[in-house]
Structure 1
Amino acid sequence: MDHSSDLPLITALPRAWMAFSKAPWRHVGLSALVLISGIGLALIGQDLRGMPAPWLNRLGDLSVLSSLVVPIVPSLALLELADHCLTGNQRELKTPRRRARWVLRQTFTLLVLEGIFLAGGVAVMQSLSWALGTISPTLAGFSVIAGSLVLLHWIYTQVMALPLLVHHHHHALEAMAHSRQLVNNNGLKVLAMLGLITGLNLLGLLVASLGLLLSLPFSALVLMACCRSQTPWRSDSRRNMLPT
């Protein structure tokens, strides 16, 4: 699998602004759906869990659990919209129904695989620390530190997996491999991108959380813009950084 390796971070914000201006209300509407389906369901679940009736408590647990799963659908729609707007194609922004079902299926597969790998890593780290603890507590402590660093690095290399899945139509394992390759080749740029996205959403939280209606679309647009990696020092790829 041969991919370009230079992440165009410098042009991400200008491209995000140009793409946002093509469908601003659709971006804001999908961001509202993400917030309502996440925060709204969680708040309802917390209220229900405080009720005296046991069946309402169970319904509250289900609502809290749903707040972790339901936002995936509007989040995917937001990423798809961002990807369409960044291509410069204003004729049709709708995603075919079969394509939407395929992306949703691959996304859940990706999340399950990520969860399995993470749980497996934690289990191996715990087993190794327990085995080394019978020899020396110091070795056990070092194994926990080393295992935590390895897991954190692995999580860091997977931050681009979902955007790459949406943009390149990857299967789950292909998206994971491509994300690892892209992050390893652009470690500092990906770190700067995460800092930019974090800063945007912190600014959104400062305005009574209403700013998230704007910061979430820009975060999605920056992520999808960074999926369009370029071949380093190629004049033709530099010309194609901005949408036409």
Structure 2
Amino acid sequence: MALSTDLPLITLLPRAWIGFGKAPWRCVGLAALTLICAIGPAVVAQDLRAISRPGVARLGDIAVLISLGLPVFPLLGLLRLADQLLPAPLEPRPPQRLKTLLSQALVLVAIELFLLLAGLGLIQCLSWAVGQVSTTLAGLIVILGALIVGAGLFTQVLSLPLLVHHRCRALQAMNRSRRLVQHNSLKMLAVFGLLLGINALGLMGATLGLLLSLPFSALVLMACCRPQAPWRRDSRRNIFPT
């Protein structure tokens, strides 16, 4: 991906709406499956932790870990569907095997989780060491470290969609996401704010709105993987699905 490519910010919403109109029930079904995989084990874990027996409490901890990793699989399916519903890219792409996609996605999640935990651990160690001398400096280190970790996470917001779209490896997707976000930082801030607003609205009505906001968010993210000149032919079509 060239550094000169720009995100078509104006066309993201029309293209996402067109894509959602092609297969709304499939999108809603995958969103429901993602929510079930995320919420179901978490509810079971809460019930298991309420039991006083030590062995049962450990099962609750295992259920928590399952609730963190299990939604990755239906989420990948939702991103793949969103990639298929959007207009086909101009550049040819290699064929994609589901086994390879799953393995690279798990590697990507593991790498980003490791970097996050390592960053938080480093901040904690530095703040503890500096706190022996000055609590003010320790607080500044915590704030500065949190900003650095947050900025690093923000540059990886497109890593999973890019992995799905470009059929690349985990490290390649992370590098492409960093380059694309850094080159379009203000636009990505606008997209991030848009997604937060959409999913905040989705939380209303006993979170049933997430069945619509999650597929729409996936379509917006996958549209970000298709930099193009604004208002090309596929974006000038009627934005209302038929």
Q: Work out the CA distance in 2 between the residues paired with 1:64 and 1:123.
A: 21
Instruction: Normalising by structure 2, report the TM-score.
Output: 0.86
CA contact (8 A) 2:3 2:183 kept: no
State the alpha-carbon separation in 1 of the partners of residues 233 and 160 from structure 2. Answer: 23
Structure 2 equivalent of residue 25 of structure 1? 25
Deviations 1:65-91 (A, max 9, x none): 2111111000000000000110359xx
Number of residues paired by the alignment?
A: 232
Higher deviation after alignment, 116-125 or 19-28:
116-125
* Structure 2 stretches lacking a partner, 5+ long: 90-94, 238-242
Matched with 1:92 is none
**CA offset digits 1:110-164 (Å, max 9, x no partner):** 1121122223323333344444445544433333322222111111111111111
Task: Point out where structure 1 has 5 or more consecutive residues left out of the alignment.
Answer: 90-95
* 1:47 to partner: Cα distance: 1.5
Match of 1:21, SS state, is helix
User: For residue 229 of structure 1, what is the aligned residue in structure 2?
Assistant: 227
Go from structure 1 to structure 2 and tell me whether the alpha carbon gap of 1:117 and 1:61 turns closer, same or farther (over 3 Å shift). Answer: closer
1:168 corresponds to 2:161: no
**Aligned match of 2:67:** 67
**Pick from 234, 237, 242: which aligns with 2:235?**
242
Per the alignment, residue 49 of structure 1 pairs with 49
Aligned positions of 1:120-159 closer than 5 A: 120-133=118-131, 135-159=133-157
Q: Which residue type is aligned with residue 24 of structure 2?
A: P
1:31–1:217 CA contact under 8 A, matched in 2: yes
Sequence identity percentage: 54
Residue aligned with 2:9, SS:
coil
Change (3 A) 1:47 1:21: same
Counterpart residue type for residue 178 of structure 2: R
The match for 1:102 is: 100
Secondary structure at 1:229 match in 2 = coil
- TM-score, normalised to structure 1, is 0.85
From the superposition, tell whether residues 54 and 122 of structure 1 become closer, same or farther in structure 2 (CA, over 3 Å).
Answer: closer
Aligned partner of 1:116 in structure 2 is: 114
